[in-house]
Amino acid sequence: MNSGKGKADAANRPTRVQEEKARVQEEKGFLQAQRQKVDVTLDADTAHPRLEISDDGKSVKDTGTIRKVPSKEKRFDSHTFVLAKEGYTCGRHYWEVDVGKRRSWTLGIAQEPVTRKGTVTLSPKNGFWVIGFADGREYWAHSDPWTRLSVSGKLQKIGIFLDISAKQLSFYNIRKKAVLYTFTLGGDSSPEGKFFPLFSTGPAAAKPDTEPLEIVQGFDDDE
């Protein structure tokens, strides 16, 4: 009785050739994004007191204790966030983060000015465009409302591509050279203020995960 509908569904379903073309196109886009690599360094002056930044500014870990650090206006005081020193107002910028075996993390960008003190809700309307991994189980884009991401296996390296002229922020599954999620920035208006790469070790759990988040400095060894 539904044979007509079944045929229509089959006709609308992408063929293997179409799927392969789409995959090749997506991989091409990923490789083009990688060419826009920038050097990203963490700004210790923005880091929550629990976070310890490496001497070279390329990795961050949650120590689990509130460290004595200088009081700074730009420091996050309620969430385990840290921003990069580099902020961008135009152009294309690509960086990669090795999340290792962490059970929780959040990555993306924050736009100046964003709230640094007190409770912060990660959402585009508050100047944050991020994705995260929660409790070793689920990947989410912090859109409004949140979007659950379809991921097979566990991600170890994430590619992040900020294209300000196109008003887009894309996250890549590096192993598959495929897009995980793309945000549109700023709606119809032109983006204002700098965009800073943002990193978080996830919720400030009682028992911290000491594995660091690391900025990937060379792409030659990518899977």
Sequence-distant (≥ 6) Cβ neighbours of residue 99 within 8 angstroms: 105, 107, 133, 155, 156, 157, 158, 213
In the predicted structure, residue 214 carries a pLDDT above the cut 60: yes
pLDDT computed for residue 5 by the predictor: 55
Domain membership flag for residue 45: yes
In the predicted structure, residue 221 carries a pLDDT above the cut 60: no
Number of Cβ atoms within 10 Å of the Cβ of 218: 8
pLDDT band at 145 (very low <50, low <70, confident <90, very high): very high
Q: Does residue 199 contact residue 213 with C-beta atoms inside 8 Å?
A: yes
Domain membership flag for residue 171: yes
How does the average pLDDT of the chain come out, rounded?
A: 88
One-letter identity of residue 71: S
The domain that holds 48 is classified in CATH as 2.60.120.920
pLDDT band at 148 (very low <50, low <70, confident <90, very high): very high
Query: Number of structural domains, the chain?
Result: 1
Q: How far is CA 188 from CA 153, 166, 168, in A?
A: 36, 11, 12
Domain membership flag for residue 168: yes
Residues of the domain holding 135: 36-215
CA-wise closest residue to 133 among 95, 169, 180: 180
Task: Report residue 28 CA to chain centroid gap.
Answer: 20
**Burial (CB count <10 Å: 0-12, 13-18, 19+), residue 8:** exposed
Task: Report residue 133 CA to chain centroid gap.
Answer: 10
Between CA 118 and CA 30 the distance in angstroms is 37
Domain membership flag for residue 164: yes
**What one-character DSSP code corresponds to residue 153?**
S
Domain membership flag for residue 123: yes
In the predicted structure, residue 59 carries a pLDDT above the cut 70: yes
Domain membership flag for residue 136: yes
pLDDT band at 223 (very low <50, low <70, confident <90, very high): very low
pLDDT band at 16 (very low <50, low <70, confident <90, very high): confident
In the predicted structure, residue 186 carries a pLDDT above the cut 60: yes
67-90 mean pLDDT: 91
pLDDT computed for residue 219 by the predictor: 64
Sequence-distant (≥ 6) Cβ neighbours of residue 49 within 8 angstroms: 66, 67, 68, 69, 75, 77
pLDDT digits (tens, 9 = 90+) for 20-42: 887 788 888 898 999 999 999 99
**On the CB side of 149, how many CA atoms lie within 13 Å of its CA?**
27
